[in-house]
Amino acid sequence: MDFIKGSIVIGLIVLLTALVPAAAEEFQPTRPIDGQKWRVEVRYPSALGDGSWSDPDVWRYETRKAEEGWVISATAGGAGENADRIEIRTDDAFEVREIRIYRETGQAGRERILRPGPGEPVLTERSPAPFDRPVFPLKVPSTNTYRRMITLGSGLQAETGVIQTVRRVIEDGIPAVPPGSASPEGGVIEVTLSDPRGAVLAVQYWSEGFPWPLSGSNRSMRYQLVGTGE
């Protein structure tokens, strides 16, 4: 009888343990180092509309510590001041506060300034270089809806929703993980940003030990990390 009672108790413990959901993993990308550099290969959809992609353009990113936060500069082909470039300005917690997009003539050719609201996903807009960024920290797995302000053709602003879905993927075809940045859990973290109708706006793959995604795509491009420290 005692053996039967003990078996029942053990069975109940096992059942209750199985019913308790596993704690969500939390992911926060590594903060940058002053002067850190990396290269991102970007391809754009063909103007022919045949589903093909352009030859890759290489964008060189570099970080520098600012008085308040960080500045990440991205320059086409590593050219100088008179090249297409973008500047991503963040606070000390590395949350994006402003994106400045320049075309061909440096400061005099400033095309756009974007200022995302606090706690909203950042999506690449009218830029030849990517700057998509989800809301951190990421809960893995999770699905959350965030509010985001968009500018309409009339110049007026409107609020819309962005659905952020996060999961860890361990399967063939995922991006290669840079040496020294692999997670004990294996694989990479996939972040999908979608609109309220379910249309995908951007997808990224993140790994531990680096402040930038391994690869990603949005409605205007796909991109991949191809080198660091250069």
Residues 172-189 have pLDDT tens digits of 666 666 555 556 567 899
Q: Mind spelling out the 3-state secondary structure of 88-106?
A: EEECCCCCEEEEEEECCCH
- Give Cα separations from 36 to 92, 95, 133 (angstroms): 16, 17, 18
How far is Cα 57 from Cα 189, in angstroms, rounded to an integer? Answer: 25
The CA distance from 178 to 227, in Å, is: 9
> How much of the chain exceeds pLDDT 70, in percent?
76
224, β-bridge pairs: 41, 215
Q: What is the mean pLDDT of the chain?
A: 83
Over 90: is that where the pLDDT of 151 sits? no
pLDDT band at 22 (very low <50, low <70, confident <90, very high): low
Q: How many domains does the chain have?
A: 1
8 in a structural domain: no
- pLDDT surpasses 90 at 215: yes
Q: Is residue 71 part of a domain?
A: yes
Q: Is residue 220 part of a domain?
A: yes
12 pLDDT band, cuts 50/70/90, is very low
- 3-class DSSP assignment, residue 153: coil
Question: Does residue 9 sit within a domain?
Answer: no
In a domain, 176, yes or no: yes
Is 118 domain-assigned? Answer: yes
In tens, the pLDDT along 51-84 reads 899 999 999 999 999 988 999 999 987 555 556 8
Judge whether residue 16 has pLDDT over 70.
no
Length of the chain, in residues = 230
pLDDT value at residue 108: 56
Q: Does 5 map to a domain? A: no
Q: Could you tell me the CA-to-CA distances from 164 to 72, 141, 143, 169 in Å, in that order? A: 24, 11, 6, 16
Residue 2 placed within a domain: no
Q: Which domain holds residue 128?
A: 23-228
Query: Quick one: pLDDT at residue 153?
Result: 64
Residue 200 has pLDDT above 90, yes or no: yes
Can you spell out the DSSP letters for 200-228? EEEEEEE-TT-SS-SEEEESS-EEEEEEE
| Confidence (pLDDT) at 20 | 44
